[in-house]
C-alpha cells in the first residue's frame, strides 16, 4: 500500500545518489539535496510542490514526491526541472494530507528517474527521502539482497526503506523502526519517512545534515531549511545530530536515537515570505543586488556588548585562523586586511577544504573564525568539528540563525541580510565584509564610529548602482563573446579581483581569473592577447600607481583595459566610476558594478543567473 502547539520562547533576527558500491566506503560526501515533508489538514501535494520550488536554489537535477492518498502511497518522480516533471508526472493530482518531497543533486551516479527520490520498500508501504550519504551502503545492500530484497536504483538511500520494511515486519511501529535503522547507518543523513500503516505521521531523523521542523496552524512541516514553509509558519524547532522527530498534524514530539524524550525550544524566524520572492524583478540576483544598501544597514544592527566581546576575543587571541569557502573566503581576505590596517591584528585566512589537513597541530590557543552564509557548508563544518576536538574556541559569522554552524559555535554574529535565493552571493558578501569592518572598529573601541561611517557608505551604494547600471550592461554586452577575462588588484582590492572573477565565471560561464596585479608577470601575462578584457580594480589608494603600471603592461599587449575606481585615466578603454570615499571603503562600492557586469553578461549569454549549472547555494558536499 503506497498511499504541542506553540510556545514561542524567543525571536530570531537572521534567519547519492548512485555511488558505485566499490567506491562508496572510501568517500565522505554529503549531497546538496533538499527535502520537505508535510502532515496536516490541507492537501500535501501543492504544499510540497511549492516547497520544492523554494528549494531550487540548493541545486538539483531531479525531483520527486510521495503522498498518502487514502488507499495507499502514491509516488511520482523523474529527472528534470521542477515544473516540467510536475506537469509530466501530474503532481497536481496528489491530494493526500501527508507527504514528502525531494530535490536531488547528483554528486555521483546517473541522473535518472530510478535514482530520483523518494525511494520505496519492496512492498511499497514505506517511502523515504534522504539528504546525505550512507557510507556502509555496500555492505547493507549486499545483506538485504541476500535476504531477498529487490533494488530499483543505484543509490545509497534505497537501503533505508528496505531496512525499515524488515523492522516493521518484526512488529515495530514506524518510530521504533527508524530508531533501530539509524543506529545501523554510518555517515550523514537527514531523513523523512512516510508509512502507509501510519499515514497520519512522518518520522524525521538527522545526523550531520540540516533538518528543521515547522509548526503551523494547518499542519507540521520538515525541511532542509525554513524557506519552503516560510509562507505557512515562522515557528520552528531545530533538530541536532542524533535526534528524531515524529510529525503529526497537531505538532511534533522529539527524541534522541535511544528514545529519550527531548524538550525543544520553539523559535520564531523574523524573515518575511516576500523576501524569498522575486517580486517585479526578472531574477533574484538583480533584486538582491538592489537590496544591498538596506541589507548592509541591517548588518549594523548588532548588540553592542555582545559584538564587542566577539571582537575582543579575536583581538586577544594568540592565533586567529579564519576559514571559509568561495565568496565567503573573499570576504575573509578583505577582513584580514581590515583587521591588520585598522586594528593592528594579524590573522590567517585558509580555504576551509584545506584547513582540515592542518588540523593535527591545532592547539587551544588558536581561535577559529568561520564565515558562511548558510551555516551548512560541509567543509566549514568539518573544520569546526576538528578544531573543537583540539580544544579550539570557534566563532562564526553566518546568516542563517539556527544553522549547524551557529549551533556548533561558541559565539555567532549574524549577517541579518534575510534570505538570499540566488546561488551567487551578493548581499551576503556585502554583509560579511561589513561585519569585518565593524569588527575592526570594535577591536579598537570605536563601535559607534564604525556604525556611523558604514551607514554613510551604505547610502553611497545606491549611488554606485545608479552610476553604473547602464554602464555595466554596455560593458557586459561588449565583451560577452570573449573566452577569457582577467581581474587585477593589489592590497585589499586583490580580494575584489577574486570576487569579480568568481561572479563572472559562475553565472555567465565565461572563464575569468582574478589575481594580485603584481603576479601578472609571473605567468598570466603570457595569456594576454589582442582584445582580452582586463578589469583593473584601481581606486586612488596606496596601491594606485603600481596597479596602473600592471594594467599598462596588459594594454601594451593588446588588452582592453576596464578601470574600476574613482579616478579615470586616459589608459582606460572603459571606466566604471565609483563615488569618492575614504580609501579603505572602496571594496564595498567595487562590489556593486562587478556584480552588475557579471549579471548582465549572464543574461546576454542566455544564462539563468539565479541557478548556474552544476552549482548549489548550500554546498553540503565535500
Strand pairing of 119-120 and 411-414? unpaired
Domain membership of residue 319 (yes or no) is yes
The count of other CB atoms within 10 Å of the CB of residue 221 is 28
Q: Are residues 232 and 118 in the same domain?
A: yes
Cα separation of 179 and 172, whole Å?
10
Orientation of helix 447-478 relative to helix 586-604, angle to 10°: 30
Q: Which of 253, 272, 291 is where one domain is finished?
A: 272
Report H helices in 479-543: 492-508
Q: Are residues 376 and 477 in the same domain?
A: no
Domain membership of residue 615 (yes or no) is no
Q: Are 33 and 218 in contact (CB under 8 A)?
A: no
Please say if the pLDDT value at position 28 is more than 60. no
Q: Are residues 402 and 359 in the same domain?
A: yes
Domain membership of residue 452 (yes or no) is no
3-state DSSP percent of the chain in helix, strand and coil, to 5 = 40, 25, 35
Q: Are 109 and 18 in contact (CB under 8 A)?
A: yes
**Structure-block grid coordinates of residue 385:** 568539528
| DSSP one-letter code for 7 | -
Q: Are 367 and 314 in contact (CB under 8 A)?
A: yes
| DSSP one-letter code for 225 | S
Q: H-helix or E-strand containing 516? A: strand 511-516
Q: What is the pLDDT of residue 495?
A: 97
Under the banding of pLDDT at 50, 70 and 90, the label for residue 7 is very low
Cα separation of 36 and 192, whole Å?
8
pLDDT in tens, 325-354: 999 999 999 999 999 999 999 999 999 999
**Structure-block grid coordinates of residue 159:** 537501503
pLDDT in tens, 74-132: 999 999 888 899 899 989 889 899 999 999 877 655 788 899 999 999 999 999 999 98
- Secondary structure E strands in 258-382: 261-262, 266-269, 319-324, 348-351, 366-372
Cα separation of 332 and 370, whole Å?
9
Mean confidence (pLDDT) of the chain: 90
Q: Are 312 and 413 in contact (CB under 8 A)?
A: no
Show the domain range for 297: 278-445
405 contacts: CB under 8 Å, gap ≥ 6: 370, 372, 375, 376, 377, 380, 381, 384, 396, 398, 412
Name the nearest CA neighbour of 54 among 275, 202, 203.
275
Measured over the CA atoms of residue 120, residue 199, residue 54 and residue 7, the dihedral's sign is negative
pLDDT in tens, 58-81: 777 889 999 998 889 999 999 988
Please say if the pLDDT value at position 386 is more than 90. yes
Q: Are residues 491 and 440 in the same domain?
A: no
Please say if the pLDDT value at position 11 is more than 80. no
The percent of residues above 70 in pLDDT, for the chain, comes to: 92
Domain harbouring 508, CATH code:
3.40.50.10490
Q: Which of 242, 257, 272 is where one domain is finished?
A: 272
Please say if the pLDDT value at position 9 is more than 50. no
**How many domains, the chain?**
3
Q: Are residues 15 and 158 in the same domain?
A: yes
φ, ψ of residue 32 in degrees (nearest 5): -105, 55
Q: What is the pLDDT of residue 25?
A: 34
In the numeric block, the cell 579615470 is attached to 568
Q: Are residues 539 and 469 in the same domain?
A: yes
Q: Are 402 and 15 in contact (CB under 8 A)?
A: yes
Domain membership of residue 206 (yes or no) is yes
pLDDT in tens, 241-253: 999 999 999 999 9
Residue 570 among the catalytic residues: no
Select which of 30, 33, 201, 264 is catalytic: 33
Across the range 400-409, mean pLDDT stands at: 89
Q: Are residues 425 and 493 in the same domain?
A: no
Residue 370 CB-half CA count within 13 A? 37
Q: Are residues 185 and 261 in the same domain?
A: yes
Please say if the pLDDT value at position 1 is more than 50. no
Residue 617 among the catalytic residues: yes
Q: What is the pLDDT of residue 66?
A: 95
Q: Which of 445, 479, 507 is where one domain is finished?
A: 445
Q: Are residues 488 and 366 in the same domain?
A: no
Our measurement of the distance from residue 278's CA atom to the centroid of its chain's CA atoms, rounded to an integer in Å, reads 18
Q: Are 387 and 370 in contact (CB under 8 A)?
A: no
Distinct helix (H) and strand (E) counts, the chain: 17, 26
Give the alpha-carbon dihedral of 160, 164, 166, 169, to 10 degrees.
Answer: -160
Please say if the pLDDT value at position 18 is more than 50. no
Domain membership of residue 364 (yes or no) is yes
Under the banding of pLDDT at 50, 70 and 90, the label for residue 621 is low
Q: Are residues 229 and 84 in the same domain?
A: yes
In the numeric block, the cell 589575481 is attached to 515
Q: Are residues 472 and 362 in the same domain?
A: no
Domain harbouring 100, CATH code:
3.60.20.10
508 contacts: CB under 8 Å, gap ≥ 6: 480, 598, 601, 602, 605, 607, 609
Domain membership of residue 44 (yes or no) is yes
Domain membership of residue 450 (yes or no) is no
Across the range 177-201, mean pLDDT stands at: 95
Name the nearest CA neighbour of 203 among 103, 128, 123.
128
Q: What is the pLDDT of residue 21?
A: 32
The percent of residues above 90 in pLDDT, for the chain, comes to: 74
In the numeric block, the cell 551516479 is attached to 109
Q: What is the pLDDT of residue 272?
A: 64
Across the range 579-590, mean pLDDT stands at: 95
Q: What is the pLDDT of residue 451?
A: 96
| DSSP one-letter code for 217 | T
pLDDT in tens, 601-612: 999 999 999 988
Strand pairing of 574-577 and 560-565? parallel
Our measurement of the distance from residue 181's CA atom to the centroid of its chain's CA atoms, rounded to an integer in Å, reads 29
Select which of 76, 77, 201, 617 is catalytic: 617
Q: Are residues 481 and 602 in the same domain?
A: yes
pLDDT in tens, 413-457: 999 998 888 989 999 999 999 999 999 999 999 999 999 999 999
Domain membership of residue 26 (yes or no) is yes
**Structure-block grid coordinates of residue 296:** 548592509
Amino acid at each position: 500500500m503506497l498511499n504541542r502547539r506553540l510556545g514561542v520562547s524567543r525571536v530570531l533576527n537572521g534567519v547519492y545518489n548512485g555511488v558505485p558500491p566499490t567506491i562508496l566506503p572510501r568517500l565522505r560526501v554529503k549531497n546538496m539535496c533538499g527535502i520537505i515533508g508535510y502532515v496536516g489538514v490541507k492537501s500535501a501535494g501543492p504544499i510540497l510542490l511549492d516547497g520544492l520550488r523554494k528549494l531550487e536554489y540548493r541545486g538539483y537535477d531531479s525531483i520527486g514526491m510521495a503522498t498518502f492518498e487514502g488507499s495507499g502511497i502514491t509516488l511520482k518522480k523523474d529527472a528534470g526541472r521542477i515544473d516540467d516533471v510536475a506537469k509530466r508526472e501530474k503532481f497536481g493530482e496528489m491530494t493526500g494530507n501527508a507527504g514528502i518531497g525531494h530535490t536531488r543533486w547528483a554528486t555521483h551516479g546517473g541522473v535518472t528517474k530510478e535514482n530520483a527520490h523518494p525511494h520505496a520498500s519492496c512492498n511499497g508501504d514505506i517511502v523515504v527521502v534522504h539528504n546525505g550519504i550512507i557510507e556502509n551502503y555496500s555492505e547493507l545492500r549486499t545483506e538485504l539482497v541476500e535476504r531477498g530484497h529487490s533494488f530499483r536504483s543505484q543509490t545509497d538511500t534505497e537501503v533505508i526503506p528496505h531496512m525499515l520494511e524488515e523492522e516493521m515486519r518484526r512488529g515495530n511501529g514506524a518510530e521504533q523502526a527508524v530508531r533501530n535503522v539509524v543506529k545501523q547507518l554510518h555517515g550523514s543523513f537527514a531523513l523523512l519517512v512516510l508509512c502507509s500503516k501510519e499515514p497520519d505521521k512522518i518520522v524525521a531523523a538527522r545526523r550531520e545534515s540540516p533538518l528543521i521542523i515547522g509548526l503551523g496552524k494547518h499542519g507540521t512541516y520538515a525541511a532542509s531549511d525554513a524557506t519552503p514553509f516560510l509562507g505557512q509558519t515562522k515557528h520552528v524547532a531545530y533538530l541536532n545530530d542524533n535526534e528524531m522527530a515524529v510529525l503529526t498534524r497537531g505538532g511534533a514530539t522529539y527524541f534522541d536515537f535511544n528514545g529519550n524524550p527531548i524538550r525543544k525550544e520553539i523559535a520564531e524566524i523574523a524573515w518575511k515570505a516576500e523576501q524569498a520572492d522575486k517580486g517585479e524583478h526578472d531574477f533574484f540576483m538583480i533584486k538582491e543586488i538592489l537590496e544591498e544598501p538596506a541589507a548592509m544597514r541591517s548588518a549594523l544592527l548588532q548588540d553592542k556588548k555582545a559584538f564587542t566581546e566577539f571582537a575582543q576575543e579575536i583581538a586577544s587571541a594568540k592565533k586567529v585562523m579564519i576559514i571559509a569557502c568561495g565568496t565567503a573566503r573573499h570576504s575573509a581576505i578583505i577582513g584580514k586586511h581590515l583587521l591588520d590596517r585598522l586594528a593592528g591584528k594579524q590573522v590567517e585566512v585558509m580555504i576551509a577544504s584545506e584547513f582540515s589537513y592542518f588540523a593535527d597541530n591545532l592547539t587551544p590557543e588558536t581561535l577559529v573564525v568561520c564565515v558562511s552564509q548558510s551555516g551548512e557548508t560541509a567543509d566549514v563544518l568539518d573544520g569546526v568539528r576538528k578544531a573543537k576536538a583540539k580544544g579550539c574556541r570557534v566563532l562564526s559569522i553566518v546568516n542563517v540563525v539556527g544553522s549547524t554552524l551557529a549551533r556548533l559555535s561558541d559565539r555567532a554574529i549574524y549577517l541579518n541580510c534575510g534570505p538570499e535565493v540566488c546561488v551567487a552571493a551578493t548581499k551576503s558578501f556585502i554583509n560579511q565584509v561589513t561585519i569585518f569592518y565593524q569588527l575592526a572598529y570594535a577591536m579598537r573601541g570605536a563601535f559607534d564610529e564604525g556604525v556611523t561611517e558604514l551607514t554613510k557608505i551604505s547610502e553611497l551604494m545606491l549611488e554606485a548602482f545608479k552610476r553604473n547600471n547602464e554602464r555595466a550592461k554596455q560593458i557586459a554586452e561588449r565583451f560577452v563573446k570573449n573566452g577569457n577575462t582577467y581581474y587585477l588588484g593589489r592590497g585589499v582590492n586583490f580580494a575584489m579581483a577574486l570576487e569579480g572573477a568568481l561572479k563572472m565565471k559562475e553565472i555567465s560561464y565565461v572563464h575569468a581569473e582574478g589575481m594580485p596585479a603584481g603576479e601578472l608577470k609571473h605567468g598570466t601575462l603570457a595569456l594576454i592577447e589582442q582584445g582580452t578584457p582586463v578589469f583593473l580594480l584601481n581606486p586612488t589608494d596606496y596601491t594606485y600607481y603600481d596597479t596602473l603600471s600592471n594594467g599598462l603592461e596588459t594594454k601594451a599587449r593588446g588588452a582592453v583595459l576596464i578601470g574600476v575606481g574613482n579616478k579615470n585615466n586616459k589608459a582606460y578603454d572603459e571606466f566604471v566610476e565609483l563615488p569618492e570615499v575614504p580609501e579603505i571603503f572602496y571594496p564595498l562600492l567595487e562590489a556593486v558594478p562587478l556584480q552588475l557586469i557579471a549579471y548582465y553578461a549572464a543574461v546576454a549569454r542566455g544564462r539563468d543567473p539565479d541557478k548556474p549549472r552544476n552549482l548549489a547555494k548550500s554546498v553540503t558536499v565535500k
